Structure 1
Amino acid sequence: MRSSHTRGGGGAAKSAARTTQKETLTAAGRAGFIARGVVYVLIGLLSLRIAVGSGGGRADRQGALHEIATKPFGEAMLWALVVGFGAMALWRGSRAVLTRGPRRKAGSRALDGGRAVFYASVCWGTAVYAAGGGQGSSGNAQSQDWTASALELPYGQALVGAAGCLLIGIGVVLAVRAALRRFLRQLNTGAMSPRTKEVVTALGVGGGVARGVVFAAAGVFLLVAAVRFDPHEAKGVDATLRSFAQTPAGPWLLVAVALGLILFGAFSFASARWRRL
């Protein structure tokens, strides 16, 4: 009898531990989506300023951090982002390591692992900035420095070209998946009203397509840098966004992309609320 009670107590303890773990990781994921949403909304707003010629700093993550730092309680908000990005890294890492089952293939876990590493680096960069480390070099300069270093390696031209093709492919996949509304599979749409579902769907489609366009455009510039063996052809997010204003469509294309990034930020907030985590 005592042994039965012991086993029962042990099972209850394990169940409680699993429940606590799930709740913790769920909260981490929601915090991460909020942090992502804040940055995308700010990048979109900075891009809009550039498009209409009303100033604006860097239209990238560093520019977004600078924008936050200039506001009241900016330092506290920056540290909140540090927590949010760290939480996103934790959630993505847990999906890569802990989640198993027939629906979680090795490729999916590897993708989550890569995202965990990415958000960990974003968390670190944000923490450095919040601690007074400054903005550092621009994303455009970082991209060109990486490209220059890569081109000096054996088969460096092929490596940079492959990286450009990879970015283009990621952008196309993001845009197509958004257009096909694949993101709805990850949301608890049953908890939404019909009107809310329509709004969230519009946010996901518009935002996802715009995000994919930015990735693909950055990949094109990287591919051109490889073909021409010129690292100065590579562009970061800010320079990529500014390039949209130099097309025949003029600043209107940049306006459309900027609005799309704001939509994606809003979709991230919706994901924090309705994503199945």
Structure 2
Amino acid sequence: MNTRSKFQLMARAGYSARGIVFLMIAAIALFSSFAGSKPDTNSALETILQQPFGRIWIGLIGLGLAGFVVWRLAQSLANADGQDDDMKGYAIRAALFGSAITYAGLAMTSMLMALQMSGGGGSGGEEGLAAWVMAQPFGRYLAGIIGIGFVIGGIVTAMKGIKRKFGRYLDLDAKKNSPAVLISIYGLVARGLVFGIIGVFFLYAAFTVDPDQAGGMADALAWVQSLPFGGIIYAVVAVGLAAFGVYNFVEARYRHINAPEAGDLRRHLPIRGTN
């Protein structure tokens, strides 16, 4: 197996690992009254850890997520997806770099849990991020910027599904209403909705100067459940997160994975050769 094939395998394993995590989040959300856990990434990992051979599964997921981080870095730093050299292209790459940082933390948490160096728990990533940001100089404004970023990211993610733009990156005809395409649309819209709600929480935290007002995925779902007909909407969104998990398996199977070359890094990063 050559280097390019190994890179593609690593990226596809990463999508699969992310798919498993989101399927677990959706399952916890749908059966939270029985599971007694919050539907977020930490609870998903803890649930997997409690299964037979849980540490092995968590370790494999951690390795898969590490591969996903490497792929995200290739997309953002080496422009593996061939984004245009304009503001839109740079914004997409910046978002992909932020995704790399997020999943690096999740991969590290998974590996620590596999090695029994962490039992998980604690506040979710978004709440911890809000507390850290608020403690920085001009933290209120930083939290507001992050909130705007989440809202924009939510809109972009949802529109990616509605307009079927994900087909650009798949060896799959997104114009056809195949099960894989319809599930992908559903999953992306649900994920975008949750992203947008998290962004509103960050904006409210910035407005009130209270990091406790920032919320993560579990808080977003709880807010949805509090709406009129919230139980129905909550179930629709939770199933949508499961669909997003399936969408990751679609990407694992059909995604165009372009392994970057050293020249790509020199072209897209300010790296100068030494004389």
TM-score (norm 1): 0.83
Whole-angstrom CA distance in 2 between matches of 1:260 and 1:99: 29
2:29 matched to 1:44?
no
Whole-angstrom CA distance in 2 between matches of 1:94 and 1:145: 27
Greater Cα offset, 33-42 or 197-206: 197-206
Distance 1:38 1:148, change over 3 A: closer
Write the deviation string for residues 144-164 of structure 1: whole angstroms up to 9, x where unpaired.
454344334443222211211
1:98 Cα deviation after fit: 4.3
Unaligned runs of 5+ in 2: 258-275
1:82 Cα deviation after fit: 1.1
Whole-angstrom CA distance in 2 between matches of 1:100 and 1:234: 33
1:125 Cα deviation after fit: 1.4
- Give 1:2-21 correspondences, 5 Å limit: 20-21=2-3
Q: Give the paired residue count.
A: 251
Whole-angstrom CA distance in 2 between matches of 1:144 and 1:199: 35
1:54 Cα deviation after fit: 3.1
Greater Cα offset, 108-117 or 226-235: 108-117
SS in 2 for 1:54: helix
Distance 1:55 1:98, change over 3 A: closer
Partner of 1:252: 232
TM-score (norm 2): 0.83
For the pair shown, the structure with the greater C-alpha radius of gyration is 1
Whole-angstrom CA distance in 2 between matches of 1:211 and 1:203: 12
Partner of 1:124: 108
- Percent identical among aligned pairs is 29
Please state which structure has a larger fraction of its residues in helix. 1
Whole-angstrom CA distance in 1 between matches of 2:55 and 2:115: 9
Distance 1:270 1:101, change over 3 A: closer
2:119 matched to 1:134?
yes
Whole-angstrom CA distance in 2 between matches of 1:56 and 1:247: 21
2:215 matched to 1:235?
yes
1:120 Cα deviation after fit: 2.1
Give the conservation status (yes or no) of the 8 Å contact 1:170–1:216.
Answer: yes
Partner residue of 2:172 out of 179, 189, 206: 189
Give the conservation status (yes or no) of the 8 Å contact 2:19–2:247.
Answer: yes
The one-letter code of the counterpart of 1:179 is: I
Distance 1:246 1:110, change over 3 A: closer
Give the conservation status (yes or no) of the 8 Å contact 2:109–2:120.
Answer: no
Distance 1:233 1:127, change over 3 A: same
The one-letter code of the counterpart of 1:119 is: Y
